[in-house]
Amino acid sequence: MIYFDNSATTKPYKEVLDSYVKVSSDYFGNPSSLHSAGAQAEKLLSRARAELAKLMNVKANEIYFTSGGTEGNNLAIKGAALAYKGRGRHIITTQVEHTSVREAIEQLKRDYGFNVTYIAPDSDGRVRITDIEKAITDETMLVSVIHVNNEVGTIQPICEIGHMLKNYHKIIFHVDHVQGIGKVPLDMYECGIGLCTISGHKFHGLKGTGALFVKGGLTLSPLFSGGNQESKIRSGTENVAGMVAMAKAMRMTFSKREEHLQQMEAIKEKLREELQTIVGVKIHTPRKFSAPHILNFSIKGFKAEVFVHALEEEGVYVSTTSACSSKQKTASSTLLAMGVPDDEAGSAVRISLSYDNTVEEAGQVIDTIKNAIDKLGRVMN
């Protein structure tokens, strides 16, 4: 099996699984309990929080554990909007956000009367800072922009946006960093970020783990009511083993980035060059300002889901749009916003890499793609 669908989820490192099992077995106490078993669990949780904070170059008390990207985005957006609605009821976001951002904002619009401005991207999927600034009004209290687009890999100008927003002191800046963490560095303080979402299973941690950076001084309206865990921002008994495992996964991923980033970039470039030689293939991921692990392309005349299954039969795993939307069988909203025609958007396939993939695998995948095109072409004709 060649697994090239790492933006959907990554395979947990063995060391991460071992860590999860050990903590679950030996330190299973509730971290809120007063006895020694609870104290041991609480100590491990604090260590995991401190390690994540160190790797992200922020303070430990600015890290709040969640169940992943969807919860983190919802907590950041709804929590900030409801806590600071007195500042205004206008939100600015982009047309290329993940559904967990888009739907959270739409709920605020529908149920709480917020106004929303969606910034259109250019043909590379990148938004212009001037367009965001032009959209700011006296009512604007939140700007939410994805760092690395989960479908085409475009990197947004986060730091430039953050620097511009420093001139608007009442606006909170939220960044969905789920696809960027471990691949594209991001400095929370330098970039003026107030809220930032990450998800453990995108960097070889476990599903159901994640964290939200909340800059000191900000508060959020909680989504959950209950036991007041996570400084009352996120109630619910903490997943100690999962968070310890996530901290280990992040440490290992950051280490692998130093060792294998150039290899990942070489694999992506080989895939791009080979795909460009295939008749009917159009690449949508821009060459400039794109993450090292995502490559999105269309194959003229083939539906994306048919082609994905054809590759699967040969042991190659890729995806269509984002994993959260792939079963809906609708064209990518990101590609449509970029101006890609409907038929091309409907045939788009995403390859996404990890630091464990090899150049040899890339060569095999290209051969498999060529064979699948030939085979499906004969069937259709």
Residue-wise pLDDT tens digits, 186-227: 999 999 999 999 999 999 999 999 999 999 999 999 988 887
Asked if the model's pLDDT at residue 138 lies above 60, the reply is: yes
Of 69-83, 92-106, 292-306, which range is least confident? Answer: 292-306
Asked if the model's pLDDT at residue 128 lies above 80, the reply is: yes
What confidence score (pLDDT) does residue 254 get?
A: 98
Whole-angstrom distance, CA of residue 209 vs CA of residue 198:
9
- State how far the alpha carbon of 28 is from the alpha carbons of 37, 240, 248, in Å: 7, 8, 18
CA 351 to chain centre: 15
Q: What is the mean pLDDT of residues 346-351?
A: 95
What confidence score (pLDDT) does residue 235 get?
A: 76
Q: What is the mean pLDDT of residues 110-128?
A: 97
Query: 191 catalytic, yes or no?
Result: no
What confidence score (pLDDT) does residue 381 get?
A: 56
Residue-wise pLDDT tens digits, 169-179: 999 999 999 99
What is the percent of the chain where pLDDT is above 70? 97
What is the percent of the chain where pLDDT is above 90? 85
Q: What is the mean pLDDT of residues 225-245?
A: 86
Whole-angstrom distance, CA of residue 82 vs CA of residue 304:
39
What confidence score (pLDDT) does residue 324 get?
A: 52
Task: Using pLDDT thresholds of 50, 70 and 90, give the confidence band for residue 379.
Answer: low
Q: Quote the longest CA-to-CA distance of the chain.
A: 71
What confidence score (pLDDT) does residue 30 get?
A: 85
- State how far the alpha carbon of 107 is from the alpha carbons of 114, 197, 301, in Å: 9, 19, 37
- Nearest-CA neighbor of 98 among 162, 171, 147? 147
What confidence score (pLDDT) does residue 321 get?
A: 72
What CATH number has the domain spanning 14-251?
3.40.640.10
Question: Class for domain 2-8+259-380, per CATH?
Answer: alpha beta
Check 159, 191, 196, 324 and give the catalytic one: 324
What confidence score (pLDDT) does residue 327 get?
A: 54
Whole-angstrom distance, CA of residue 350 vs CA of residue 6:
10
Of 32-36, 180-184, 327-331, which range is least confident? Answer: 327-331
Asked if the model's pLDDT at residue 114 lies above 90, the reply is: yes
Structure tokens at 11: 């395979």
Radius of gyration of the chain (CA): 21
Asked if the model's pLDDT at residue 232 lies above 90, the reply is: no
Residue-wise pLDDT tens digits, 141-158: 999 999 999 999 999 999
Q: What is the mean pLDDT of residues 296-303?
A: 91
Mean pLDDT of the chain: 94
Domain boundaries, the chain: 2-8+259-380, 14-251
